[in-house]
Amino acid sequence: MPQSLAKMHVHLVFSTKNRNPVLHDGVREDLHRYMASVLQSQHSPAMLINSVEDHAHVLFELGRTVALADVVEEVKKSSSKWIKTQGPEFEWFYWQNGYGAFAVSFTDIERVRTYIAYQREHHKKQPFPDEYRTLLDQHGVRYDERYLWD
């Protein structure tokens, strides 16, 4: 086969350092746009980005020639630098060290998109730590609770 073809979708989840609730409405939309531009520069276009005060969800198509870890590192590093320019309240902003990344089958894209779009409503019922553990469990990801949070 002379051609290399791939289409992989990823649901990425990561929180602010110590789950600090600093992502307010005044910065959220611009943050999402900025993150989408970083993903585009990594040949991994965003399908949907949404966040609440203490964490972000990103649905994107992983570029065929890039590594997931490199894309995630660039999104987090670049957006952290960017948000620090948005006002004194973000001077000490950091994302958590880790992240969760989950493969999304083509047939589940709309379900995941809806899930991400309704984060605000979802978190009226379930806090982020419980949501994150549920995602890890649903995807069969083994974890050690001692190292899950920072």
Q: What digits encode the pLDDT tens for the residues 76-108?
A: 999 999 999 999 999 999 999 999 999 999 999
b/e for 120-131, b at 16 or more Cβ within 10 A?
A: eeebeeeebeeb
pTM of the model: 0.95
Q: Which domains does the chain have, with CATH numbers?
A: 8-147 (3.30.70.1290)
The answer to whether residue 150 scores a pLDDT higher than 80 is no
Q: What digits encode the pLDDT tens for the residues 18-39?
A: 999 999 999 999 999 999 999 9
Average pLDDT for the chain: 95
